[in-house]
């Protein structure tokens, strides 16, 4: 399991994501934001942390954040990535049984 997931949103969902996650509007475009996320990932990895880029589906993220009552933010995107990672780990463990 990764200690620090770094969420990435597909380019075709980025403009919609900006409407919900105002922090994303601070970036010029999807490529700039993706570069920032990649640098964050590399910094964590080079710093000795276990990091992974986690692709997030915007609709799934928005549904999840309503269920857990968390405000939409970049931090929430990363938390959603952590949620996806835990769910995938449980699924792998169950399939081994």
Question: Locate tokens 């996650």: which residue?
Answer: 21
Q: pLDDT, tens digit, for every residue of 6-46?
A: 888 889 999 999 999 888 877 679 999 999 899 999 998 99
Q: pLDDT, tens digit, for every residue of 35-45?
A: 989 999 999 89
d(CA 25, CA 32): 11
Is residue 69 within 8 Å of residue 22, measured between CB atoms?
no
d(CA 59, CA 55): 12
- 0.75 exceeded by pTM: yes
């Amino acid at each position: 399991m990764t200690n620090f997931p770094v969420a990435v949103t597909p380019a075709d969902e980025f403009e919609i994501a900006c409407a919900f996650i105002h922090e994303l509007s601070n970036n010029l475009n999807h490529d700039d934001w993706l570069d920032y996320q990649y640098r964050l990932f590399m910094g964590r990895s080079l710093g000795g942390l276990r990091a992974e880029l986690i692709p997030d589906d915007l609709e799934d993220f928005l549904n999840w954040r309503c269920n857990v009552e968390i405000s939409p933010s970049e931090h929430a995107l990363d938390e959603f990535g952590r949620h996806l990672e835990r769910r995938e780990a449980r699924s792998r463990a169950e399939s081994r049984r």
